[in-house]
């Protein structure tokens, strides 16, 4: 059983749908950015990470390799998103698979931006890359639905602002001036957010799953509430009241769209958040339990074990034992 929350009853503004409410929460915080000047031949491996990653090709040549799509050639002005931070590789040619990072000079430009240079006699590729963290729990299931890699040009038709932003980034990346690094990072945040919204708009016809649920005028309200306050003592009755439906109608509709009941969905959401917080190794198990609404650490541990088949301690030990091999951007 979870404890009661003192949070105010959540309501959406009149006329505002739940998906708009979620996207209103869209916040990206830059972890690190890198401006890359790499002379052919070159190749960089990017390990899997929890943060979203992007690469903007100001000037090629550049190829990207993912397990799902293999090698794809990128053109000047291309931007690719890897929403789940999947493992991938960038290279000047697809046959170049050794790592060039040891041959690069890395210089801090200030803040969270660095410059990466690989000298040589070949043609120079100029890229701007970065890692970003999402600022709202409600966005996590949206990101998990997205493909491993998204090319900006494939979804840009849904937003007339994308191409001008790409053009502006190209100028800043190719002709660095005072403040270019900061300007590039701000434009990258904005462009990434708009591309994700474009992808969502391209899936308006989905009839089941999370996107369909968040668009439902009733179920969507309950989803927003659960993600906003995952530690609140939600019941089917309180969620149904928030959705403006009877208990039976809400429960049936929720299951029909999402393929599972609201209680099961909420339990999985809590444990997903718990895994993330425990893996960061910065939050005590007791604090995780409290934030997720559990009355005791023991009751939380039992629920965690039941859903994840692992103990909180095992998750924390596994995370702290991993070797950090990530690049700085």
Q: What was the pLDDT predicted at 138?
A: 59
Interhelix angle 162-174/180-201, nearest 10 degrees: 150
Instruction: Among 201, 227, 255, give the residue marking a domain's end.
Output: 201
Residue 283: Cβ-neighbour burial (10 angstroms; 0-12, 13-18, 19+): middle
Same domain, 194 and 268: no
Q: What was the pLDDT predicted at 270?
A: 92
Angle at 173 between CA 149 and CA 202, to 5 degrees: 30
Residue ranges of the chain with pLDDT lower than 50?
A: 1-15, 322-326
Tokens encoding 202: 């391209």
Instruction: Give residue-wise pLDDT tens across range 137-167.
Output: 656 777 888 899 998 888 877 788 888 888 8
Same domain, 40 and 176: yes
Which residues constitute the domain of residue 175? Answer: 23-201
User: What is the distance, to the nearest Å, from the Cα of residue 329 to the centroid of all Cα atoms in its chain?
Assistant: 15
Same domain, 193 and 274: no
Instruction: Among 201, 225, 260, give the residue marking a domain's end.
Output: 201
Please check whether residue 4 lies inside any domain of the structure. Answer: no
Instruction: Among 201, 225, 244, give the residue marking a domain's end.
Output: 201
Q: What was the pLDDT predicted at 67?
A: 94
Please check whether residue 325 lies inside any domain of the structure. Answer: no
* pTM score of the predicted model: 0.73
Please check whether residue 7 lies inside any domain of the structure. Answer: no
Tell me the HSE value of 108 on the side-chain side, using a 13 A CA sphere.
Answer: 3
Same domain, 75 and 187: yes
Q: What was the pLDDT predicted at 197?
A: 80
Query: Distances from the Cα of 109 to the Cαs of 20, 46, 135, 169, in angstroms?
Result: 36, 21, 25, 17
Q: What was the pLDDT predicted at 281?
A: 65
Q: Mapped to the 3 state alphabet, what secondary structure does 210-248 carry?
A: HHHHHHCCCHHHHHHHHHHCCCCCCCHHHHHHHHCCCHH
Please check whether residue 206 lies inside any domain of the structure. Answer: no
């Amino acid at each position: 059983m979870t404890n009661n929350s003192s949070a105010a009853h959540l309501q959406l503004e009149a006329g505002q749908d739940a998906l708009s409410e979620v996207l209103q929460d869209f916040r990206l915080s830059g972890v690190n950015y890198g401006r890359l000047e790499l002379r052919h031949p070159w190749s960089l491996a990017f390990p899997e990470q929890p943060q979203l990653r992007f690469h903007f090709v100001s000037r090629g040549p550049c190829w990207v390799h993912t397990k799902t799509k293999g090698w794809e050639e990128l053109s000047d002005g291309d931007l690719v998103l890897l929403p789940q931070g999947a493992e991938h590789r960038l290279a000047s040619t697809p046959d170049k698979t050794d790592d060039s990072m040891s041959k690069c000079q890395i210089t801090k430009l200030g803040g969270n931006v660095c410059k990466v240079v690989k000298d040589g006699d070949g043609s120079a590729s100029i890229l701007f890359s970065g890692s970003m963290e999402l600022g709202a729990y409600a966005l996590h299931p949206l990101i998990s639905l997205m493909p491993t890699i998204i090319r900006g040009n494939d979804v840009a038709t849904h937003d007339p602002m994308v191409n001008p932003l790409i053009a502006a980034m190209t100028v800043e990346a190719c002709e660095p001036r005072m403040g270019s690094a900061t300007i590039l990072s701000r434009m990258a945040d904005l462009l990434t957010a708009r591309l994700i919204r474009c992808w969502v708009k391209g899936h308006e016809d989905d009839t089941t799953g999370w996107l369909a649920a968040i668009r439902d005028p009733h179920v969507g309200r309950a989803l927003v509430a659960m993600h906003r306050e995952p530690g609140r003592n939600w019941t089917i009755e309180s969620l149904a009241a928030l959705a403006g439906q009877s208990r039976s109608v809400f429960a049936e509709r929720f299951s029909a769209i999402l393929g599972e009941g609201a209680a099961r969905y909420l339990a999985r959401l809590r444990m997903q958040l718990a895994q993330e917080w425990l893996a960061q190794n910065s939050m005590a198990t007791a604090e995780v339990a409290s934030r997720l609404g559990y009355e005791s650490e023991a009751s939380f541990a039992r629920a965690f074990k039941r859903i994840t088949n692992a103990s909180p301690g095992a998750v924390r030990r596994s995370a702290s034992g991993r070797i950090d091999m990530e690049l700085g951007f």
